[in-house]
Structure 1
Amino acid sequence: MFKHFTTATWLSAIVATSLFSPAAAAADATAGKKAFRLCAACHALDGKNRVGPHLDGVVDRPVASVEGFRYSKAMVAFGEDGKVWDEQHLAEYLAAPRTTVKGTTMAFAGVKKPEDIANLIEFLKDPAAAD
């Protein structure tokens, strides 16, 4: 019955579900700042694009909308229907980028632990909260 779902699809669903649990309410921006180290090789929080687009204000920002960044065709298509990087979409993408956006040029394999994803999103919502 569920044979058409991949492991990554199930993982994304589990991560997204766990982020909206009571445990997610305890997400820690300081721990998220540490988790951001995985992202910092390609993304910045200073408004400047690097290999990837800057992540200032990414939470609730429309997908593929950063001025001056050249997105892959796959990412542009993913955002064509007005999708925004809400917490659920971010959780799914961070867990399995290449499954969530098939054809993405982002080489990162994904964040494995749901608590790291929750903390990372908490940090991205308000980086100053980690200081």
Structure 2
Amino acid sequence: MYSITVASDIKKGANLFKTRCAQCHTVEKDGGNKIGPALSGLFGRKTGSVEGYAYTDANKEKGIEWNDQTLSDYLENPKKYIPGTKMAFGGLKKEKDRKDLIA
């Protein structure tokens, strides 16, 4: 089981989001969609379910619920985890980076 620990660096995670994710995503409650879907309220949500965002069929049909583990697996290699996704991101190969980002 995947777990975020106190060893996760929230500051580093915020910087990773700013440099690797914020161009395409928002995390604010009313941030809205950009090139990618809004990420506010991500945990517990099903893939492909943000209203007003044009997902690929692959994202809509994946049918998983976002949690620490599924998000880490996705962020490691998005195109491998959801073949057919339009997310143009090569992934975060280091588990520590993924844990920091998710924290």
Same-fold call, TM cutoff 0.5: yes
Query: Of 71, 75, 79, which aligns to 2:55?
Result: 71
**For structure 2, which runs of at least 5 residues remain unmatched after alignment?**
none
| Alignment correspondent of 1:27 | 8
Query: Of 25, 28, 39, which aligns to 1:43?
Result: 25
| Matches of 2:12 and 2:37, distance apart in 1 | 22
AA at the equivalent of 2:26: A
| Matches of 1:61 and 1:27, distance apart in 2 | 23
Superposed displacement of residue 104, structure 1: 0.6
Q: Secondary structure at the match of 1:45?
A: coil
Task: From the two aligned structures, give the one with the greater helix fraction.
Answer: 1
| Matches of 1:112 and 1:27, distance apart in 2 | 16
For residues 74-117 of structure 1, what are the alpha-carbon distances to aligned partners after superposition, in whole Å with 9 as ceiling and x for unaligned? 101112xxx21111110000000000001111110101211110
Superposed displacement of residue 29, structure 1: 1.7
Q: Secondary structure at the match of 1:65?
A: coil
Select the structure with the greater relative contact order (CA < 8 A; seq sep ≥ 6). Answer: 1
AA at the equivalent of 1:45: V
**Displacement over 2 Å in runs of 4+:** none
Superposed displacement of residue 64, structure 1: 1.3
Q: CA RMSD in A?
A: 1.4
Q: Secondary structure at the match of 1:40?
A: coil
Computing the radius of gyration from Cα coordinates, the structure with the larger value is 1
Superposed displacement of residue 62, structure 1: 1.8
Q: What is the TM-score when the length of structure 1 is the normalising length?
A: 0.70
| Matches of 2:49 and 2:27, distance apart in 1 | 15
